[in-house]
Structures are given as C-alpha cells and as structure tokens.
Amino acid sequence: MNIKQTHVLYGVILILIIISSYFGYLAFYSTPATTEVDDVSILLAWLFQGKHAWWFTTIEKGFFAEEHISAQILRGYGSVTTAEAIAEGKYDFGYTMLTPYLQVKDQGGDMMAVALIGQRSGDCWVSFKEKNIVEPKDAEGHSFAYIPGSSDALYVPIFCEYGGIDINKIEKVSMQVGTAISALFSGTVDISPALVGSLLTTAQHQSKAIGKELNVINWYDYGVDLVGHVLCCNNKLINEKPDLIRRFLRALVKGMEYADKHPEEAFEILLKYRPELGGASYNITRDQWYEWHNFQDKTDYTEEHGWFTFPKENIEFTLNVTVDIYGTQRFPLEEIYTDEFLITRPYPF
C-alpha cells in the first residue's frame, strides 16, 4: 500500500469514527434508557405566572412523555422553603434563587444545581413617583415590604451594600408572600421588591390603570449582576437516578426551544393549564411571559451555549456576594452546580 492509499484509508476511518460518534451522541441524548414512566415532582419558588409558560409547553407538546416522564408542577412558598424541601428530599426538583439555595446548602442541605433557569435575577425595587425614590440612597426613611423566607428578603442586605443604603434607616414591614404589591398600592409601604417579567409587570399594569407613575430601581444597573433561579435536586437523586435527570433536562430543553420559537402558542398553552391566569389577568400574564423570557431566559450566553447553561463568572459573583454578606462557606463551584446532564448547542434535534 502506497502513501496515497494509506492517507485515503486513514481518511475513511476518520470519517467512520466521526459518523459513529455523532450517532452515539444522538442516541445518548435522544433515546430514553427505560420504558417505565417516572413520576417527577417540581416545586416552584412561588405562584404560577406568565414566566412558567415553557414548563407547561414541555408537558403539552409531549416532550416529557417522550422521555417517559410524568411531571407534576407545584406552586412554591418562597425560594428558601423550596430549597429546604429539596434538601429534605420531599420533591424531585426545586426552582429556587441561587442565594437561598446556597444558604440552605450551607446549613447541610445535600443538593446540587443541575440547570440555571434564570440567567439574570431581574430584582428591582418599585415605588410611586410621588415618593421621589429615584436612587438607592433615596430609600432611607421609607418603609419596605419585607417577606421573611423569600429571596427578596435575603437580598435586602446585598442591595443596601451595593446601593450605599443604611439598612437601619429602612423600615421593614413584614408580610406574607404575595402581598407586597398590594401593600404598595394600599399605601401600607413605600417600596415593594419586584422582578422584571414578574411583579414589576403586575405593578406597571396596575399603576397605569389608576393613572399613577412608578419609579424603578433595577439592581442590575447598580452592579448587582446576580444570576436568577437554579433548578436543583437532592444528591440522592443524582446518585440513584442520573438517567432520569438527563431525560428530564432533555425534555426541558426541548420545551424551552419550542416555546422560544412559538411564544404565542406557549402562552395559550399556559392558559389552558392555568386558566386563573387569564381573564382580568390576561394582559399581565402575557407581558410577564414575554418580558421574563427575553430578559431572564434568553441571553447572549444561552444563545451560544444553550438553554439553562451556567455562566461561570455570574455564578462566582453571586457566590462571592452571598459569602461576603451572609458569611456562608465558599463552596467550590463543582459542589454548587453540575452541567453534566445538560445538552448544549448545537442541539441534536
């Protein structure tokens, strides 16, 4: 065999290896290893909202079914409560802000983040324009809707630190989850925490209806580049059912990809499963979905790497802030999250 024939043979072998590897990759990421149906529970951080459209799209379009999964999505009662429930193994997956997750983990919670749902936190403080709260420092001397156990409450010291606010000069008015915006509009408090594509959208609609203007302090603009929600699970699930996690995330990626390409259909699917979000709330819910998705889910990073991937710098920033403010231990990144179960771009479907 001459040199030319040898090169041709090596080329054929290389092509066969590449083809074999591709179909192996395709099979690994496309074929469930089981025919049994797994019941999976997902505990959200809070109430059902427009931002959850893609979750129900994943159910409706059969992406969970393709992976032999029956998913039950449950409302939560605050990020801390959700993180604690996952640490205790009460649910399979939890949807919680990263800082509460780190705090519960610091207390011994044996869990791992397997996907990053919100690339940005979107946290902001909202007030009526008449209160003249334009810059963070202006919050001093005003009352604030404080919800114990929520990520909003946990982030108050962080925002005060970055905004140069004397935390002792803010009156924290404790209240239950879901009452902050109502307290703002009733005049019970001067400032309410909110999220872009969530409570901020609600407040904007309600203020427009009564002819009042809002001031918004978006903490992203003040260097607080926190990541948003992580999807976490107990390490016992990782050890015992890694294939389930892989199938679950594969379904979620398909669901998000579909919802991104068909946003109006995704919104209608949400209303089918959660009709209480329609009616008088229709416009609020619709705007929540579009605003959240385009700010939280869809970023330059996810466009390049894929849905739910982890930007290391932002994870480190959130970790550093949590350690500095709360004194939690500085976990190595590999103990905080893993991307071993995620599909990355380009997708094999």
| Model pLDDT for residues 29-70, shown as the tens digit of each residue | 555 555 799 999 999 998 999 999 999 999 999 999 999 999
* pTM recorded for the entire structure: 0.85
pLDDT tens profile 237-290: 999 999 999 999 999 999 999 999 999 999 999 999 999 999 999 999 999 999
Q: 214 and 236: one domain?
A: no
Q: 233 and 331: one domain?
A: yes
- pLDDT band (50, 70, 90) for residue 15: very low
Q: 218 and 240: one domain?
A: no
Identify the domain boundary among 205, 222, 239: 222
Residue 10 pLDDT > 60, yes or no?
Answer: no
Q: Is residue 344 part of a domain?
A: no
Q: 247 and 203: one domain?
A: no
Whole-angstrom distance, CA of residue 247 vs CA of residue 249? 6
Q: 132 and 147: one domain?
A: yes
Q: 252 and 109: one domain?
A: yes
Q: Is residue 77 part of a domain?
A: yes
Provide the number of structural domains found in the chain.
2
Q: What is the CA radius of gyration of the chain?
A: 22
Q: Is residue 164 part of a domain?
A: yes
Domain extent for 105: 37-118+228-336
Provide the CATH number for the domain around residue 196: 3.40.190.10
CB atoms within 10 A of CB 260: 17
Q: 315 and 332: one domain?
A: yes
Identify the domain boundary among 171, 197, 222: 222
Q: Is residue 232 part of a domain?
A: yes
State mean pLDDT over 204-230: 94
Q: Is residue 32 part of a domain?
A: no
* Adjacency order of strands within the sheet including 93-97: 69-74, 38-43, 93-97, 229-234, 111-116
Per-residue pLDDT at 349: 82
Q: 74 and 133: one domain?
A: no
State mean pLDDT over 143-152: 88
Q: 246 and 105: one domain?
A: yes
Identify the domain boundary among 199, 222, 245: 222
pLDDT tens profile 166-176: 999 999 999 98
